[in-house]
Amino acid sequence: MTILTESLETDMSSSAIAPTGNLEISVSRAELLRELTAAQSVVERKTTIPILSNFLFEATLGEGDAPGRLTITATDLDQSMRTSCTAKVKKPGACTIPARKLYDYIKLLPEGEISIKLMDNHWVQIRAGRSNTKMVGMARANFPQVPEFPTSGAYRLSVASLKNMVSKTIFAISNEESRYTLNGALLVLKAESMAMVATDGHRLAHIEKLGETIDGISGEKKTLIPRKALAELSSLLGATDAETMDFGDDDSTLFFKVGGRVLTSRKLTGQFPNYEAVLPRDNTKFVIVRSEDLMGCIQRVAQFADERSGAIKIRLEQNELKLSSSSTDAGESEDTIETPYNYDPLVVGFNSQYLIDFLKAIGNTGEVRLEFKDAQSAGQMRPEDGNEDVKYRYILMPMRI
């Protein structure tokens, strides 16, 4: 905690450059609620530093005929979100307002204009129609300085490609705090492709998108993005109409600019493992099945798997794939899918939830190819969709059954 507190104190010293003064604005409820929704997920729920439970509101006058703007910032010191909307600014200024309380209150107001005014002693008055509320704020000077998007060296990335890559890898990130270099996904940018990879040591998800033109890259750029930042980024990418976004970084911070919103995240330090070494090279036995059929079988059989391990058995024999499980508490179950298979018989065990995670990620449609070497080696799954530009594979360590 001392590190966080120290960084907060150093940030405070430089936070006086933003607008101060008795903010007075009016803003449309729909626009305000949209931006509060984007920012509120970053706010720290349980914090020992009270100011981090607040939004920072900053109102600035527009230049010429341009309307004024309300900028809303939230941070938990690890990441921050800055977003804005148009507002009628009577008096430029800044204030901080309890985030959760404000968000819940604004949701309950009817559509229309909301006026927000900073009063004495950091109280903030909010009026809408016949509702008149005063909330207890805190001094703007206490709010930590949030890093600014770098003025140069940013890369322009495709929103659709990045969104797809996050959804195909985020579930494979480790939850174990002790393995902190696995608590994120590795983004690999090259001049004509981008890739993302995540692993928790038991499984690995790897996706590569070819045919992406990324200016300003020579060789490759590898960046480790924390899971929490990826989850926020996924929400941002899902809520924008923009086709591209800007990504930049400095020594300590990652920056993602999507539409008018900027997400920052503290960098993960440490070395991501050499994932290329574990990608299977000689999984020559394979079977192709419909994703929907496989998902149904796994879900049924998994009901009877050992609760702790979730292990199910895959048996490949002449033209059929058998799934089975058993546990002393629940009983046993077996399911069969008929499908072409002309290699030596094979029996291998996997964690059923890991298989389900992959099938959910590909949308449970089309066909999926399962590739094996033997019962002791990692299995590989990939969608059989014929998409040459997107190479997606999922590597699973077998379990002893």
**Domain coordinates in residue numbering, the chain:** 2-142, 155-276, 280-396
Question: Smallest Cα–Cα separation from 57: which of 1, 138, 2, 3?
Answer: 138
pLDDT band at residue 7 under the 50/70/90 scheme: very low
**Token pair for residue 220?**
């490759």
Tens digits of per-residue pLDDT, 64-121? 888 899 999 999 999 999 999 999 999 999 999 999 999 999 999 999 999 999 999 9
The percentage of the chain sitting over the pLDDT mark of 90, rounded to a whole number, equals 82
Q: In terms of Cα–Cα distance, which of 6, 9, 255, 47 is closest to 144? A: 9
| pLDDT band with cut points at 50, 70 and 90 for residue 181 | confident
**Neighbour tally for 382: CB within 10 Å:** 19
What is the value of pTM for the model shown? 0.89
Q: What is the CATH number of domain 155-276?
A: 3.10.150.10
Those residues whose C-beta lies under 8 Å from the C-beta of residue 165, and which sit 6 or more positions away, are 187, 194, 195, 196, 207, 209
DSSP states of 238-303:
HT---SEEEEEE-SSEEEEEETTEEEEEEPPPSPPP-GGGGS-S---EEEEEEHHHHHHHHHHHHT
Note the pLDDT tens digit of each residue in 191-214.
Answer: 999 999 999 999 999 999 999 999
pLDDT one-digit tens code per residue, 303-350? 999 989 999 999 999 999 999 999 999 999 999 999 999 999 999 999
Residue 20's pLDDT band (cuts 50, 70, 90): low
Fold match between domain 2-142 and domain 155-276: yes
Query: 280-396 belongs to which homologous superfamily?
Result: DNA Polymerase III, subunit A, domain 2 (3.10.150.10)
Q: Which residue has the higher pLDDT, 20 or 2?
A: 20
Q: Which two tokens stand for residue 159?
A: 């929103």
Report helix angle 159-169 to 227-238, nearest 10. Answer: 140
Q: Report the pLDDT value the prediction gives residue 66, as an integer from 0 to 100.
A: 84
Confidence band for 10, pLDDT divided at 50, 70 and 90: very low
The pLDDT, as a whole number, for residue 357 is 96
| DSSP-derived 3-state class of residue 89 | strand
CATH of domain 2-142: 3.10.150.10
* DSSP code at position 130: T
Query: Can you state the percent helix, strand and coil of the chain, rounding each to 5?
Result: 25, 40, 35
Could you tell me the two tokens for 344?
């030596």
